Amino acid sequence: MSVLSQTPDPSVPAPSRWHLFCVVVDNFGDIGVCWRLARQLAAEHGIAVRLWVDDLKSTRRLIPALDPAASRQFIDGVEIRQWGDPLSSVDPGEVVIAAFACSLPESFLEAMARRTPRPVWVNLEYLSAEEWVSGCHRMPSPHPRLPLTQHFFFPGLEANTGGLIREADYAARRAVFSPQAFWDALDLAPPEPEELRVSLFSYENAGLPELFDAWSRSVSRVTCLVPEGRILPGVAAEFGVSGLRAGDRLIRDSLTVRILPFVEQACYDELLWSCDLNFVRGEDSFVRAQWAEKPFVWHIYAQQEGAHLEKLEAFLACYRAGLDPEVARALTDFWLAWNRGEGIGEAWPAFLAALPALFSHAKRWSAKLQEVDDLASQLVQFCKVALE
């Protein structure tokens, strides 16, 4: 039987030392995923995780306790190391994960090849709902020169993929969550009965003026909460101001925009739970929006030649299955308009009318996703088998 299809022996402990390599990009999606994964592996599986990060200064926005000047530090049970050149350590653990196809240092690869037994080498890929993902999940790829084999590990929505990141205590945290305390902390009154409260976490979007115009003309109040990020200059331009910062409040007719500080991951979950509708981007916030059981709009990271729209359509095909045709059409039209940056004002009324149905659908979708083991657990199971 192939090691890729074996069931791990529950009496065999999980590999205890893991190295996780991450390159930080300006959108923070890569480090966001890696930081969540590293903490879960440490907290729930007792694994000593060493997280190698190439840009500690930028990472501090996501991890406020981080000291960018320290080459080695421990936070939330995870060892965080500065990934420099040359690498400060070439002592591989039992498992090595290269996040999102980042290239491992040559000295570290050579150390992996010398290690006995050799580490399990995993290339953690981006999340996709495309059909080909299941066929490539856990596929081996031998190194062209060294006696090493990496395996591609794909997060996904179906049982034949790697699942999604979800902490074991997620449901318990949500059960004790108090929206009132959350609004108090932001110095915001609770939502009014007819008010629409929205979180907006997005890349730059040419359609923002259309969206704000639709909300400004709404018959009921719309409150839009915008964490600091790449869309902030667009918000400022739309209101004719500059230098927006956390705490600023902008008002235009029925629309109130409130700027929030860059949100830590635990607090971001609370923001999603508190709002009626969540605009998210990339991968990390996209996954959290699906667990939040609220209607959401995904701004996918743009790729050349429109390749990202194929990925968007693949997810929509899965997500809208079972919806009333009119609701599915409203969902699809608005998501595509937001990602193309045009036609948003025209698509908004039908999407707004569909929100009650999408709220019920979001709960069903989350329950379906929970039928698949979470990403961290699947990684641990895979690596146990590979080392046996």
pLDDT tens digits in sequence order for the chain, 388 residues long: 233 444 445 554 555 899 999 999 866 779 999 999 999 999 999 999 999 999 999 999 889 999 999 999 999 999 999 999 888 878 899 999 999 989 999 999 999 999 999 999 999 999 999 999 999 999 999 999 999 999 999 999 999 999 999 999 999 999 999 999 999 999 999 999 999 999 999 999 999 999 999 999 999 999 999 999 899 999 999 999 988 999 999 999 999 999 999 888 889 999 999 999 999 998 999 999 999 999 999 999 888 777 889 999 999 999 999 999 999 999 999 999 999 999 999 999 999 999 999 999 999 999 999 999 999 999 999 999 888 7
DSSP 216-236: HT-SS-EEEEEESSTTHHHHH
Q: What is the pLDDT of residue 14?
A: 54
**Residues with Cβ within 8 Å of residue 135, at least 6 apart in sequence:** none
Return the pLDDT at 136. 95
Superfamily (CATH H level) for 169-370 = Glycogen Phosphorylase B; (3.40.50.2000)
Paired strand residues for 48: 17
Q: How far apart are CA 319 and CA 129, in angstroms?
A: 10
Alpha carbons 149 and 318: distance in angstroms, whole number = 32
Strand partners, 49: 18
Catalytic annotation present for 91: no
- Residue 264's pLDDT is what? 83
In this structure, what is the dihedral angle of CA atoms 157, 162, 163, 164, given to the nearest 10 degrees?
A: -110
Give the amino acid at 328: A
Domain boundaries, the chain: 17-164+373-387, 169-370
Determine whether 54 is an active site residue.
Answer: no
What pLDDT is stored for residue 1 in this prediction? 27
Q: Please report the pLDDT score of residue 266 as a whole number.
A: 83
Give all strands (DSSP E) within 32-172, no chain letters.
48-53, 72-75, 78-82, 95-99, 120-124, 140-142, 149-153
Residue reference for tokens 């976490």: 201
Whether the CB-CB separation of 50 and 93 falls below 8 Å is answered with yes
Q: What is the pLDDT of residue 21?
A: 97
C-beta of residue 237 within 8 angstroms of C-beta of residue 212: no
Q: Amino acid identity, residue 278?
A: N
Report how far residue 131's alpha carbon sits from residue 146's, in angstroms, rounded to the nearest whole number.
32
- Is the pTM here over 0.85, yes or no? yes
Which candidate in 125, 270, 283, 293 is catalytic? 283
- Set 30, 94, 167, 270: catalytic member: 30
For residues 249 and 257, the answer to whether their CB atoms sit within 8 Å is yes
- 277-281 and 95-99 strand pairing: unpaired
